[in-house]
Amino acid sequence: MAQPKITRITLATLPTPLEDGGKLPSGAHLWVKRDDLTGLGVGGNKARKLEFLCGHAIDNGAKSLVTVGAAQSNHCRMTAAAGARLGLPTHLVVSGEKPSRLEGNQLLAAMFGATLHHTGLADTDWSSLESFRAQLTQQLVDHGEKPQSIPIGGSTAVGAIGYALAFDEIIAQCAKQNIVADAIVFTTSSGGTHAGLVAGLVRARVSDRLKHLPKIIGIGVAKGVALNSRSITDLANETLMLLGETSRATDKDVVIDPNYMGSDYAVATQAATDAAKWAALRGAWVLDAVYSAKGFSGLLGLDAKNEFGSDANVVFIHTGGLPSIFASH
Ligand SMILES: Cc1ncc(COP(=O)(O)O)c(C=O)c1O
């Protein structure tokens, strides 16, 4: 089978820093991978995916971008930022009604010139939001526009390539620090970050580059949108295919811990509030309540159960989420 063309457009400032986070309560060592500092439109994990998603869009001759998310979607804001950088008009399908005053991610998305389509739908009505995206995309096609339509979270195999390469970046930075990562922990929701990291792990495993492979642990923060482990395995395998790899991930490679989500997506948890305080006081890391604080509460919770081991090196990928700190809805 011919190798598909993969085009990358530079949108992120890479590599992002790997900061020494000091000791965790168990004695394990924390390292913070600052993907909140990817640079595009105030940063976050989506910049890595968008480098490939937008490369693909340009290859397809797209003249505009369409995507979808919750009211305070970081993915929508960063797609708007990519649209601004590339001169592509961007349409964002978002949950909720139009607020009287735009805040947080929506304020930034509007500054980046995106058109916001408020659907009135609930944050967690992922399937209706996706149907709305499909309808809007069709309307744009009918009007003779050439939109590239990107699913929730940009979690396609093309987007996940960004995190297969991030895996290599993390391992190289650990080597520079003379440490070996035992675990890589991050927030997972639509699964593209997770699938990409698993693809990166499989590539390292088959190449025998690493004597010791880190555990890849996703902390789930959304019920309805999170792909189950089976589909993250499939997405990782599709990503490996795009990268021209013949090796494959298995379900054993995919670990999602759902115990730190609380009752559902965006519902506050005490553990996340506490984790955000811990991170702010330890390293002035700013974690948001919806994503990164829940992910970090998972890391602290696993550490409290001594899951990593007291001499482990644990990397937390800070996936961003800063703008929603400044939003009241
Ligand atoms: C700040 C932040 N962290 C983590 C994630 C989860 O990434 P993924 O959708 O690739 O699972 C998102 C997704 O929107 C996010 O905005």
For residue 29, the CA-to-ligand 1 centroid distance in Å is 24
| CA–CA dist 185, 28 (Å, integer) | 13
Pocket test for ligand 1, best of 45, 124, 227 (most atoms within 8 A of CB): 45
- Same-domain status, 189 and 133: no
Element of type H or E holding 139 = helix 126-142
User: Which CATH number covers residue 72?
Assistant: 3.40.50.1100
Q: What is the pLDDT of residue 2?
A: 55
Average of per-residue pLDDT values in the chain: 96
Q: Which atom of ligand 1 is nearest to the CA of 153?
A: 9
State in Å: Cα 261 to ligand 1 middle: 13
The verdict on 38 and 82 lying in the same domain is no
pLDDT digits (tens, 9 = 90+) for 91-108: 999 999 999 999 999 999
Ligand 1 atom with least separation from CA of 187: 4
- Give, in order, the Cα–Cα distances in Å from 325 to each of 32, 45, 93, 129, 277: 20, 17, 21, 23, 13
Residue 219 lies in a domain: yes
CA of residue 45 to ligand 1 center, whole Å: 7
pLDDT at 36: 98
CA dist 219 and 155 (Å) reads 16
* CA of residue 37 to ligand 1 center, whole Å: 14
Pocket lining for ligand 1, CB < 6 angstroms:
44-45, 74-75, 153, 155, 187-194, 291-292, 319-321
Domain count of the chain? 2
The pLDDT assigned to 208 comes to 86
Position 31 confidence tier, pLDDT thresholds 50, 70, 90? very high
297 CB-contact burial (10 Å; exposed 0-12 / middle 13-18 / buried 19+):
buried
Q: What is the pLDDT of residues 197-228, one digit of tens each?
A: 999 999 999 998 888 999 999 999 998 666 65
- With a threshold of 0.95, does the pTM exceed it? yes
pLDDT of residue 223: 86
Q: 59 is in which domain, residue-wise?
A: 47-154
Tokens matching residue 36:
């909140």
Hey, which of 16, 32, 74 would you mutate to test ligand 1's pocket, going by the most ligand atoms within 8 Å of its Cβ? Answer: 74
Closest atom, ligand 1, to C-alpha of 195:
10
* Residue 65: inside a domain: yes
Of 103, 122, 154, which closes a domain? Answer: 154
Report the distance separating Cα 170 and Cα 14, nearest Å. 11
Same domain membership, residue 232 and residue 87: no
Identify the pLDDT of residue 225.
65
